[in-house]
Amino acid sequence: MDIKYLKEVTDVFSAFMSDNGFSTEGQELGTYVGEFKTYKIAYTDDRKMFSVSVAPAESDSFTELSSWFFDESDHGAKDTACIGEDFLEAIAKDSGITVIKAADGSTKEIALPEKAALGTEPDIGAFTQKFLAMFPQYKETYKEMVAKYGDFLYVEFFKRYGVERMTTLMANEVANKKQLTKYWNMLGDMHYEGELVVGDVICSVILCGAFGKEPQKFDEAAEKYLADYPFLKSAGSVAVHDYRHNRKLRKLLEN
């Protein structure tokens, strides 16, 4: 069998495997080595069959998870794509990893946002990257949102999860002091360095969502955490104290 067909099958889920900690370094095409398991995609000429198998790490005892008949003489790219999708589902089920479906129903690996390029102002993507690096429990939530809507609805994301992190951490400042300090510092840095939209999200979404109904609590927090960030301290105070008079913003954040 032409090796290109094996590559077409594995191309369907290679990014998924890489993002979930499986390595192909030093392995033959179709072999993915993880911390606890190894998955192998192979083609058997005499059976005319693709198969995906699993073995415990550092073991050669493979168990077949799924197989598909494939004759290269009358099959093409659509067939290899179907096989790849089936094998991806088999691997995900065996490993307990959730497969994210894109808005059009197809299986795609949703990339996480990247850091700002050197010498550029951080945009909302770079700000989100910082947030997800600090709070990795929201990475799958980010992917699910992008898959569902076909885009990143950053206001919806931060009015829920950016606010949620702030209120949760502030509820027990003593226990969460280290993480709180990092969060406030990140907000201060990104407010100063980022594009206008980043500052708007920080002040009008995260801070108003967390402190808008109790602005005095922002004032108290700002004295503790924003001594080195006068711009955010000032802009945040204006936004939070104006929140009760801003019907449009209240409607946005409270619905």
Distance of alpha carbon 211 from alpha carbon 13, whole angstroms: 43
Residues 87 and 149 in one domain: no
Based on the domain organization, do 89 and 129 belong to the same domain? no
Whether 118 maps to a domain, the answer reads: no
Number of domains comprising the chain:
2
State whether 69 and 140 are in the same domain.
no
The closest alpha carbon to 18, from 81, 88, 105, 76, belongs to 88
What pLDDT score does 176 carry?
Answer: 94
Residues 90 and 138 in one domain: no
For residues 151 and 237, membership in a common domain is answered with yes
pLDDT of the residue at 143:
87
Please determine, for residue 244, whether its predicted confidence score (pLDDT) is greater than 80: yes
Do 57 and 160 fall into the same domain?
no
**Whether residues 204 and 143 fall in one domain:** yes
Asked, for residue 106, whether it belongs to a domain, the answer is: no
Query: Which one of 75, 95, 115 terminates a domain?
Result: 95
Domain with 250 in it: 124-254
Regarding whether 84 and 198 lie in a shared domain, the answer is: no
pTM of the model: 0.61
Torsion angle, alpha carbons of 156, 159, 162, 165, to 10:
-120
Distance CA 5, CA 168 (A): 50
User: Residue 43's pLDDT is what?
Assistant: 94
* Residues 88 and 175 grouped into a single domain: no
- Nearest in space to 68 (alpha carbons), one of 94, 42, 93: 42
Q: What pLDDT score does 95 carry?
A: 83
The answer on pLDDT for 154 being more than 80 is yes
pLDDT average, residue stretch 66-83: 84
Residue 116 lies inside a defined structural domain of this protein: no
**Is residue 136 in a domain?**
yes
